[in-house]
Amino acid sequence: MTGTLHSVTLHETHGSSFLNHEKELALNALREDSLFQPETDLPGPYDLDLKIQDGRLVMDIRTLDSTALPTLVLSIKPYTRLVRDYFMLIESYETIRQTGNPDQLEAVDMGRRGLHDEGATLLKERLSGKIDLDHATARRLFTLICVLHSQNFPVF
């Protein structure tokens, strides 16, 4: 299938069980259903390697026959506030989960979904003209950006 992801590899240093769970959900969803079409004549599916290096998000993309596409490098700064807020919501979620208040959990989860939507929109804007993504794929990739940022936030 052209325009899909075959695999995604992340280069992160650590993660909590919650983040590992979020990462696995995002990776599985991306493999099963994604719209990821780089501006290239080379057909997909594609293998994507993600890492943060020197304050930048590095996206190495290859075709299944290992043909490398141009590496995309994006500043990570535009995501800083969103990622910080994401980790604050996760911490709140974990604290509230221990008290068992379902109304508060729902409110925090709604906030987290809103952050994912905002992060997905930002990612789609920044990749415009480089990679065509649908909203669901952008949301999942934003989750992975947060996982990559976990080294900068306390692990709970």
Q: Where are the domains of the chain?
A: 5-152
Q: Is the pLDDT of residue 151 over 70?
A: no
118-140 mean pLDDT: 95
Q: Specify the long-range contacts of residues 61-68, CB closer than 8 Å, at least 24 apart.
A: 64/6, 67/42
Q: Is the pLDDT of residue 61 over 70?
A: yes
Residue 6: burial class (beta carbons within 10 Å; 0-12, 13-18, 19+) = middle
Write the single-letter amino acid at 61: I
**pLDDT level of residue 150 (50, 70, 90 thresholds):** confident
The conformation of residue 55, written as its DSSP 8-state character, comes to: T
Contacts of 139 (CB under 8 A, 6+ apart): 116, 117, 119, 120
Q: Is the pLDDT of residue 53 over 60?
A: yes
Q: Is the pLDDT of residue 154 over 60?
A: no
Q: Is residue 52 within a helix (H) or strand (E), and if so which, with residue range?
A: strand 46-53
**pLDDT level of residue 152 (50, 70, 90 thresholds):** low
pLDDT in tens, 68-127: 999 999 998 999 899 989 888 888 888 887 887 888 888 888 888 899 999 999 999 999
| Range scoring the smallest mean pLDDT among 15-24, 41-50, 137-146 | 15-24
Cβ atoms of residues 70 and 60 within 8 Å: no
pTM flag (> 0.75): yes
Radius of gyration of the chain (CA): 16
CA atoms within 13 A on the CB side of 105: 9
